[in-house]
Structure formats: C-alpha cells, structure tokens
Amino acid sequence: MKTRDDIRNIAIIAHVDHGKTTLVNELLKQSDTLDEHVQIEDRALDSNAIERERGITILSKNTAVRYGDKQINILDTPGHADFGGEVERIMRMVDGVLLVVDAFEGTMPQTRFVLKKALDQHLTPIVVINKVDRPGARPSEVVDEVLDLFIELGADEDQLDFPVIYASAMNGTSSYDPELDSQEHTMKPVFDTIIKSIPSPLDNEDEPLQFQVAMLDYNDFVGRVGIGRIFRGKIKVGDNVTLMKLDGSTKNFRVTKLFGYFGLKRLEIDEAKAGDLIAISGMEDINVGETVVDPQTQEALPVLRIDEPTLQMTFRTNDSPFAGREGKFVTGRQLEDRLKRELQTDVSLRVEDTSEPAAWVVSGRGELHLSILVETLRREGFELQVSRPEVIYRDVEGVNSEPFEEVQIDTPEEYTGGVIDSLSQRKGEMQNMESTENGQTRLTFLAPSRGLIGYSTEFMSMTRGYGIMNHTFKKYAPVIRNWHPGRSKGTLVSMNSGKATLYAMMGIESRGTLLIEPGTEVYEGMIVGENSRENDITVNITKGKNLTNVRAAGSDDASRIKTPTHLSLEESLEFLNDDEYCEVTPESVRLRKQTLDSSLREKNAKKNRSSSK
C-alpha cells in the first residue's frame, strides 16, 4: 500500500502543565521552519490572552515544522478535561501521539484521560518524559508508571513497545538516556523518533475525495472555517464538492479558499491531497464531524463523537443598580448574538432560550469551560449576570442519573485527614490512598460533580495552598437523593446604597469575612462579606462616624481592619448559592442577592420556611 513519506501527522497530549506547549515551541525553534531572524516567544501557540495568563491550552492549535525533507504536522491539544471534546476529535486527524509526562509528577488524571482517547483510536505512541532537570525528578520510575497505565488502559502489543525520550523542553535539551548529564541541547531524538515511529499517511489521492471536519474556526471575512484532514483524494480551490450533513442531508458548494499550516502561520494554498491537514472555507453551515466528498461518490466518514455538557449556568443581562456603568455591550440582543457566535466554534457548548426574555441557559463541560467563557465576555466589554453552576441530570436506562468525577489529590500528609473528611461530606468515595516521597500522600476519589462545585477554594485553604487537585469526568450514575450540597455559611448583605466606610466595616468584621475594601460603592442587596454562621445578615456598611468637636490625635490612624478577601471570578462563581447572582462587568465582579430588596427577601424566606414545614 502506497504511503506519503514526506509528512507525519501527530498530536501532542499531556496533563495540564506537563510542558507540551513549551515542547512544541522548542520543536519550532529547532526545526528548519523559521527564518533565523524570527524571534519566537514562549508558548507561541497559546495566542489567546487567557491561555497565556493561566498557562493552559484551551483550543487545539495546528502547526507544521520542516525537518530535513519531511513535514511534521503537529496538533497541540488541551490538557484539561473540560476541553476533552477537542482532544477526542483531534485523535481522528493524526497517526500518532507524543505523550508528555512530568518526570516528577508522573501520570495524572488527565494523562489517563487523553491517553485513553489515543489508544482507542489505535494510534502509535511516543513517550516524552519532560522536566528531567526538575528537583526530585524520577524519570525511570515514571516510565514504569506510564507502562502500567498503558497496560491498565488495554494498549495492544505494538502500543506497549513505545519509544521513550527524556527531555527538558524549557532548556531545549533531550536524550534517549534518563541520566541528566546525557542531555544535549537538541531536539534531534524527538524529531528522529517521530520520523521513524509514526506511520506515514496513506497516499490514495487518485480515489474520490473524503475530507472530515474536526475543528471549527470563524473569521469575519470568510465566515465559518472547517479544519480537518483529507482521508482520500485531493481538493482544489474552485472545486465543486458535496457536504454530507450530520442529519443525512447534502449540500453542494464551491470551495472558495483553502489554507495550509506552516510554522505559526495559516497560509492560503491552491490544492491539497490525502494526508494533509487543512482548513476550508466557502460553507457557511459546516459542522464538526461532517464529511466533504466528491459529488459523484458520496460516502460519509464515521461521525465524530462530541462530549455532551455536564454543567449549566443561567446567563442574563445585568439589571443591578450599577448596570450600564462599565460595559460597552449591555443589552439582551448583544449578549444573545455573542453567545450564538460562540457556538460557531465551540461545539461542546449549548445555548438555550428560557421563558424570560433576557436570560439563557448555557451548558458546558465544566466550571473551567464556563468561567473562561464569562471571562472572555467581560474582556470584550460585556456586562452580564450569571447564576450558580448546576449539574445536568440525565436519564440513563430509565434511571435519573448525575455526573461523577474521578478526583486525584496530592497533599502533604498532615492535611490528609481533613481532605478525606471534607470529600466524604461531599459524598466522595475514596478509591485509593498511597504515600509518595517527600511526605506527600496521593488520594483518589469518585465524587459527584455537584459535590465538587465550590470545593477548590475550601481545598486550597484547607491544605494552605500546598495541595494539588485534579478531576475528570468518569461516568453518569444514579442520583444521590436527599442531599443538597451548597455553601455552609451565610452572607453579609448591604441594606442600603452608598460607599462602604472604614468605620462601618470595623463594626461588621467581627461577624465574618469582608469581601470589599473601604470606599467601595455598594447597593442594597449586594453581598459584602461571608457570615461566620449559616444565616444571611443585612448590615449597614455605609454608616459614617458621628463627628464631634473633639478629635484625639492619631485616632483615624488607629482605625484598622483585617485585609478583606478578594475573590477571583472562579472563586466568585464557586461562592454562589441558589438565590444569588454574580454580576460581571469589564471592571468589576460583584456578588448580589437575586432579590435586592431586603424586606421582600425576608418575606420570601418566611414563605419558603412555612411551605417546607
């Protein structure tokens, strides 16, 4: 069978922060791709500002490097399980994977998650043990862990015989030997292993066209762009082709533009053939999983599975007393148009109308997926309000079921008891516990997703910031009944509008933890702190000091309060209870009660108490 020896198609997969994007950077630098005068910045493929700030990959990226007379097409995939739908689709576009594993941390939950996707597609693996220069690195033991994981995930004999390279992507060094002093400033072992081990794509360009869309992009000039692989045949600009839709219908269209990838650029090309990874425009309603074929031979490829959402939130227009002060886009129509536009590229997202005119239920793959969408909107100038995240229940074989996740925790030994106790209260079942070196303990739990909402803040404070928690969707299982997890403490709610005064805050801080600074503008119903008890309290945070003619020298200097706690956007979303909203604007993140009027809120609370008796 004829193959194309001039190209290789690989995906780079790893757990979050194990260094795969840095490795891609180094492969770009050390290949024959970029001109010598071109300076490449760190993690160049993470072009999105949020990706760069957080050090995570959110969207899969295509690049291609030249090595000798070969072109290596590389797809950098997200490591976080919230973006697992991307990973699964990428696996259909490539012939092999580079699995990057941290030489100190070893295999982690997302390592298992992304590797399973690759093995299921019978892809050829290469293992890169990265960060071998890290203090405490244990490369040989980690290789054993990886082998155990391969066996556990049902790898076949060929996959178990994987080549291993030891590297420090940050320093641009690699070697076939685990010893640190064998590292050399070259990526040649990685390139050579890719060329030798990863199968070449089939060369069947003479057969009828089959191109499948695995990712979507959107461009204001050319509209929707379908990114994928040509599995058979060839395609040229100007060709008349047929799009085979997911619903079984077909549409004929003319190819207006083709794009190929080289280095950090997407370049216009005139034609492409079997084995190439390309982008195609000219079809306004193309979707992931659909097949572009020759009109005379309409054979669709198997449909790509897209992970269903597990979490949902209500997005609504901002109707707080401060609405319209800080944002450019504040109307319901603007917010709806922007959410619908997000659907053009994010296939794991769902947006549904509600009975209210200015509210939409937005469903995604997890808290990170949805919080990044909220953060993106606020940076673009939108004002909105969002509700507490809720899990999505499903009917599985006639049983009402909820999502469960595998949780892996690495924590210093002294915090183990507290972590086990707190996760048990959230209905987590411990699956495994083992001590690792340096006084660390690794705990594995199976826990309901709704029990994990809001848990990370509690976990970080419980482990003093030393704990590491990772979780990934495991399965749907029967709903745990008569259990309503939520925040255990109440709130301090402002009873009026104005500016928070230091004097008032000094009188309030004994009741709990303040969440705002003196001088912050507040409105009635805005949450200004967390109560130390489980009930909500309305407080007068704008109260001023009665002035007298007598002033003691230095009395104002002596007025001090503890530093208020500042909640990030994620922490604010986790903090929410069912009767609260998070108000998000380009400049502020505020927490508020859904009902702002204090007396009306109290009436509703009384009604609820009497109806529950």
Q: Does residue 105 carry a pLDDT above 80?
A: yes
Asked, for residue 144, whether it belongs to a domain, the answer is yes
Percent pLDDT > 90 in the chain is 31
User: Among the three residues 165, 197, 229, which one is the final residue of a domain in this structure?
Assistant: 197
Q: Is 19 annotated as a binding residue?
A: yes
pTM of the model: 0.74
Q: What is the pLDDT confidence band of residue 548, given thresholds at 50, 70 and 90?
A: low
**Residue 247 CB partners (closer than 8 Å, separation 6+):** none
Q: Is 22 annotated as a binding residue?
A: yes
At 46 the pLDDT is 38
pLDDT tens profile 588-601: 999 999 999 888 88
Asked, for residue 298, whether it belongs to a domain, the answer is no
At 84 the pLDDT is 55
Q: What is the pLDDT confidence band of residue 357, given thresholds at 50, 70 and 90?
A: confident
- For residues 189 and 271, membership in a common domain is answered with no
At 557 the pLDDT is 41
Mean residue pLDDT across the chain: 83
Hey, what's the torsion of the CAs at 415, 473, 108, 567, to 10 degrees? -50
Domain count, the chain: 5
**Residue 61 CB partners (closer than 8 Å, separation 6+):** 45, 46, 47, 75, 76
Encode burial over 65-76: b for 16+ CB neighbours within 10 A, e otherwise: bebeebbbbbbb
Q: Which residue has the tokens 């992304």?
A: 114
pLDDT tens profile 483-506: 887 777 889 999 999 999 998 998
Q: What is the pLDDT confidence band of residue 544, given thresholds at 50, 70 and 90?
A: confident
d(CA 519, CA 501): 6
At 525 the pLDDT is 93
At 547 the pLDDT is 59
pLDDT tens profile 554-582: 444 445 778 888 888 888 888 888 889 99
Q: Are 3 and 201 in contact (CB under 8 A)?
A: yes
- For residues 114 and 249, membership in a common domain is answered with no
d(CA 84, CA 62): 17
Q: Higher-confidence residue: 24 or 491? A: 491
pLDDT tens profile 252-275: 988 888 988 877 677 889 999 999
d(CA 338, CA 319): 18
User: Among the three residues 478, 504, 532, which one is the final residue of a domain in this structure?
Assistant: 478
Q: Are 394 and 401 in contact (CB under 8 A)?
A: yes
pLDDT tens profile 133-170: 988 889 999 999 999 989 988 888 889 999 999 999 88
At 554 the pLDDT is 41
Q: Is 236 annotated as a binding residue?
A: no
Q: Does residue 48 carry a pLDDT above 60?
A: no
- For residues 508 and 423, membership in a common domain is answered with no
Q: Does residue 52 carry a pLDDT above 50?
A: no
Asked, for residue 305, whether it belongs to a domain, the answer is no
What are the E-state strand segments in 454-575? 468-478, 491-494, 498-499, 512-514, 521-522, 527-531, 537-539
Q: What is the pLDDT confidence band of residue 56, given thresholds at 50, 70 and 90?
A: very low
Q: Is 172 annotated as a binding residue?
A: no
**Residue 120 CB partners (closer than 8 Å, separation 6+):** 91
At 553 the pLDDT is 41
Asked, for residue 567, whether it belongs to a domain, the answer is yes
- For residues 376 and 513, membership in a common domain is answered with no
Q: Are 598 and 524 in contact (CB under 8 A)?
A: yes
Asked, for residue 158, whether it belongs to a domain, the answer is yes
- For residues 255 and 326, membership in a common domain is answered with no
From 236-245, 539-548, 595-604, the region with the lowest mean pLDDT:
539-548
Asked, for residue 204, whether it belongs to a domain, the answer is no
**SS3 assignment, position 197:** helix
Q: Is 70 annotated as a binding residue?
A: no
At 39 the pLDDT is 44
Q: Is 133 annotated as a binding residue?
A: yes
Asked, for residue 349, whether it belongs to a domain, the answer is yes
Percent pLDDT > 70 in the chain is 88
Q: What is the pLDDT confidence band of residue 85, given thresholds at 50, 70 and 90?
A: low
Angle of helix 20-30 versus helix 188-197 axis, rounded to 10: 100
d(CA 515, CA 591): 9
Q: Higher-confidence residue: 547 or 271? A: 271
- For residues 501 and 474, membership in a common domain is answered with no
- For residues 69 and 134, membership in a common domain is answered with yes
- For residues 497 and 448, membership in a common domain is answered with no
User: Among the three residues 247, 262, 293, which one is the final residue of a domain in this structure?
Assistant: 293
Identify the CATH number of the domain in which residue 100 sits. Answer: 3.40.50.300
Nearest to 322 by CA among 383, 388, 387: 383
Identify the CATH number of the domain in which residue 473 sits. Answer: 3.30.70.240
Q: Is 345 annotated as a binding residue?
A: no
**Max avg pLDDT among 22-26, 263-267, 523-527, 533-537:** 523-527
Q: Is 69 annotated as a binding residue?
A: no
Tokens, residue 244: 């085979």
**SS3 assignment, position 565:** coil
Tokens, residue 474: 């495991």
Q: What would the mean pLDDT of 452-481 be, rounded to a whole number? A: 83
Q: Is 21 annotated as a binding residue?
A: yes
**Residue 221 CB partners (closer than 8 Å, separation 6+):** none
Q: Is 185 annotated as a binding residue?
A: no
Q: Does residue 546 carry a pLDDT above 80?
A: no
pLDDT tens profile 217-229: 776 677 778 888 9
Tokens, residue 540: 């007068």
Q: Does residue 289 carry a pLDDT above 90?
A: no
Asked, for residue 81, whether it belongs to a domain, the answer is yes
Residue 157: Cβ within 10 Å count: 6
- For residues 11 and 134, membership in a common domain is answered with yes
- For residues 187 and 257, membership in a common domain is answered with no
Q: What is the pLDDT confidence band of residue 366, given thresholds at 50, 70 and 90?
A: confident
At 263 the pLDDT is 72
- For residues 165 and 152, membership in a common domain is answered with yes
Nearest to 111 by CA among 142, 134, 67: 142
Identify the CATH number of the domain in which residue 338 sits. Answer: 3.30.70.870
- For residues 260 and 171, membership in a common domain is answered with no
Structural domain of 177: 7-197
Q: Cα–Cα distances in Å, from 108 out to 444, 471, 578?
A: 11, 9, 33
d(CA 528, CA 544): 17
